[in-house]
Amino acid sequence: MLETGRNSCSNRYHSLVTGTDLAWESKLVLLLVLPATAVEVVLQAQDWLARNPHAAAWVLGLSAALGLLAWAARAATPAAAATGAAITASMMFSTAAEPFSPWRTALVPVAVLLVLTSAATRYRRARKERLGTAEKRRGRIAAQVAANMGVAALAATPLVQEWITGRLALSSSAALPLFTIALAALAEAAADTVSSEIGQVLGGRPVMLTTLRRVEAGTDGAISFVGTAAGVLAAGIVSTAGTLALGGGAAMLAVSWAAGVFGLFFDSLLGATLERRGWLNNDAVNFLSTASAAGFALVMLTYFR
């Protein structure tokens, strides 16, 4: 289990102090993601409205509906729901193709990610509240959404994909579309949340990744077999959903899944070191971990095509 991002009773004071001191990191993550995503949505919406208004309406409507659903289910605050809707629209536009079908876009893995993380967060919530590790009932805030999904949104933009193809001479193929990189980030986001939420109630006393010593459930950087297995499975489900939706091959599934698992352990390593020392907050850790998954996928695509 990768418990990063959940505070045990023994860590509450540390978390309150670092959470206050490092709030600027959350704001920086949001600043890196939201403006670029908003601009991308506006530009792509204008393009699709000109050539296929029907498709544009589907993208904007379904993205908004997903955001409203998250807010209604108390999985996100209004600002977080709007941020998630913008990120979803950006990735849907980036993966849409003619003839258009919303079910052959990034909407599918994003929706699967939302369902998995919401279900895991609600699983045995009463016990998590007794442990002091439960998520706030109002749901995730905008910075948390940006930290978990921002890298995927940025990696899927045409500008970034053009840079990848231009600088690295890496082109898309049916087996390994460039969305593999973004899908890896989504897989890591699912793995991290599910591993934490399931591991802290089913994994028993975890061990610290760096020392292998037993620690309290919810300690940053702690892992257990049950939580890790749940995280690996979640990464695989999101990778499978994205691969099927976008018509990728077995290589897309393997690369995105492996990269998501890599990011899962990288997240725990950051939690056990930099986060516990008060150098990074949870949003920064999540953003860097999804970035590590995207980077791992990029390396695999570069050298193993």
pLDDT tens figures, 255-266? 999 999 999 999
Sign of the dihedral through C-alpha 241, 244, 245, 246? positive
DSSP lists the bridge partners of residue 207 as 214, 223
Residue 218 pLDDT > 50, yes or no?
yes
End-to-end CA distance of the chain: 32
Q: Which residue has the higher pLDDT, 216 or 234?
A: 234
Report whether pLDDT(143) > 90: yes
6-20 pLDDT, tens digit per residue, is: 433 334 334 444 445
Q: Do 18 and 287 form a contact (C-beta atoms < 8 A)?
A: no
| DSSP-derived secondary structure for 34-95 | HHHHHHHHHHHHHHHHHH-HHHHHHHHHHHHHHHHHHHHTTSB-HHHHHHHHHHHHHHHHHH
pLDDT in tens, 129-142: 666 655 666 789 99
Mean pLDDT over residues 195-201, rounded?
A: 89
- What does the pLDDT read at residue 11? 44
Instruction: Give the predicted TM-score (pTM) of the model.
Output: 0.90
Q: What is the pLDDT of residue 170?
A: 72
Checking if the pLDDT of 74 tops 70, the result is: yes
Residue 62: C-alpha distances to residues 56, 98, 123, 142 (Å): 10, 18, 27, 19
Domains of the chain, by residue range, sit at: 9-303
DSSP-derived secondary structure letter, 214: B
pLDDT above 90 as % of the chain: 68
Q: Considering Cα of 167, then 168, then 172, then 173, what sign does the dihedral take?
A: positive
Query: Between 2 and 124, whose confidence is greater?
Result: 124
Model confidence over 25-68: pLDDT tens digits? 999 999 999 999 999 999 999 999 999 999 999 999 999 999 99
Task: Return the pLDDT at 200.
Answer: 86
Angle between helices 53-72 and 78-95 (to 10 degrees): 150
E strand segments, 115-210: 207-208
Contact 222, 294 (CB under 8 A): no
